[in-house]
């Protein structure tokens, strides 16, 4: 493995403003580590520094750089790290060059000022939470032909707008468009695109295995989980039916995740008792399912 040196460098952009970066320097390439300048609106990433090509923008490189409005990324960058531009709320445009083949999770989350995004033609996967919590209004977002997977939550709360999905896309994850855009696609519509976990997960009830096929709101923090079995459809009330072990997740990790979620949402005995009252009211037909 080549040695890495962490350095601080300063270069001018075309407006003659100083740009200061932390970089990770390797024997044959450089990775951009962190923008250190303040009050910088235009960032121009150079193709190389001291003869060595810049190949990556690392995790959180521009995290919470609120002053940045535009970043020019050169050809030669092959990867953009997780949360690389997260909370860059002044960022209005993002053109990702075709040399980029990988973008990390939540790379553009909370970038609420984006008006135009053109992604690399060589991207195959849009990762988890890529545009989460952006709340965009009629942006121009161009997804590349050749894209194959849109992972869960990629556009979670990204805003309400139409989004053209390339015909090359083969898989869209649960909650990809939860409180997000309306997808225009030839894929068969799946309501799970607009829902959240644990939609689609396998559960066991009375020794029969089924799958959660819908999530609806009851009251308070209680939800109704529709479970489809071979024998038909049954509804379970979250959290009560899980606490009573009427319903269990087939996957051990999912079961633990649900248990953790219940413990964090229903911390007191009074809150748990209220959940059971809501379940009772539902079974008596006193609550309208939303």
Query: How large a percentage of the chain has pLDDT more than 70?
Result: 99
Q: Kindly state the greatest CA–CA separation across the chain.
A: 74
Helices (H) and strands (E) in the chain, counts: 3, 22
Two tokens, residue 86: 């997260």
Residue 61: the pLDDT is 96
Does the pLDDT value for residue 185 go beyond 80? yes
Evaluate whether the domain defined by 1-196 bears CATH number 3.80.10.10.
Answer: yes
**Rounded Cα gap, residues 45 and 68, in angstroms:** 13
Segment 197-212 mean pLDDT:
92
Does the pLDDT value for residue 1 go beyond 80? no
pLDDT digits (tens, 9 = 90+) for 11-68: 888 888 889 999 999 999 999 999 998 888 999 999 999 899 999 999 999 999 999 9
**Rounded Cα gap, residues 276 and 257, in angstroms:** 21
Two tokens, residue 20: 């200061």
**Rounded Cα gap, residues 39 and 20, in angstroms:** 11
When pLDDT is cut at 50, 70 and 90, the band that residue 2 belongs to is: low
Residue 45: the pLDDT is 95
Segment 185-209 mean pLDDT:
93
Two tokens, residue 200: 């689609």
Give DSSP secondary structure letters for 267-289.
Answer: -SHHHHHHHHHHHHHHHTT-S--
Two tokens, residue 260: 């953790």
**Rounded Cα gap, residues 194 and 200, in angstroms:** 12
Segment 114-130 mean pLDDT:
98
Segment 138-148 mean pLDDT:
97
Which residue ranges does the chain devote to CATH 3.80.10.10? 1-196
What is the sign, positive or negative, of the torsion defined by CA atoms of 140, 149, 226, 268?
negative
Residue 17: the pLDDT is 87
pLDDT digits (tens, 9 = 90+) for 228-242: 999 999 999 999 999
Segment 132-137 mean pLDDT:
97
Does the pLDDT value for residue 84 go beyond 90? yes
Segment 70-93 mean pLDDT:
97
Cis? peptide before 239, omega within 30° of 0: yes
Asked whether the beta carbons of 33 and 61 are under 8 A apart, the reply is: yes
Residue 38: the pLDDT is 84
**Rounded Cα gap, residues 276 and 262, in angstroms:** 13
Burial string for 190-204 (b: 16+ CB within 10 Å, else e) reads eebbbbebbbebebb
Asked whether the beta carbons of 124 and 98 are under 8 A apart, the reply is: no
Segment 85-104 mean pLDDT:
97
Q: Which of 223, 231, 206, 226 is nearest to 279 (CA)?
A: 223
């Amino acid at each position: 493995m080549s040695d890495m040196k962490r350095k601080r460098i300063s270069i001018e952009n075309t407006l003659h403003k100083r740009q200061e970066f932390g970089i990770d320097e390797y024997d044959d390439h450089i990775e951009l580590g962190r923008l250190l300048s303040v009050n910088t609106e235009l960032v121009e990433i150079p193709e190389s520094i001291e003869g060595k090509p810049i190949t990556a923008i690392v995790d959180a490189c521009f995290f919470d750089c609120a002053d940045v409005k535009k970043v020019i990324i050169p050809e030669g960058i092959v990867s953009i790290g997780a949360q690389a531009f997260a909370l860059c709320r002044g960022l209005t445009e993002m053109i990702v060059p075709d040399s980029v083949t990988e973008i990390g999770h939540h790379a553009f989350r909370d970038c609420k000022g984006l008006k135009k995004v053109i992604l690399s033609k060589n991207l195959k996967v849009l990762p988890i939470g890529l545009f989460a919590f952006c709340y965009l209004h009629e942006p121009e977002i161009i997804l590349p032909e050749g894209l194959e997977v849109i992972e869960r939550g990629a556009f979670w709360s990204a805003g309400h707008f139409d989004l053209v999905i390339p015909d090359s896309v083969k898989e869209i994850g649960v909650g990809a468009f939860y409180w997000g855009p309306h997808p225009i696609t030839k894929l068969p519509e799946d309501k799970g695109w607009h829902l959240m976990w644990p939609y689609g997960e396998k559960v066991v009830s009375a020794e029969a295995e089924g799958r959660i096929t819908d999530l609806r709101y009851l009251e308070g923090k209680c939800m109704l989980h529709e479970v489809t079995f071979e024998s038909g459809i049954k509804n379970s009330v979250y959290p009560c039916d899980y606490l009573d072990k009427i319903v269990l997740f087939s996957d051990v990790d999912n079961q633990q995740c649900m248990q953790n979620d219940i413990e964090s949402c229903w911390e007191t005995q009074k809150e748990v008792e209220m959940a059971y009252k809501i379940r009772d009211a539902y079974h008596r037909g006193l609550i309208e399912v939303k």
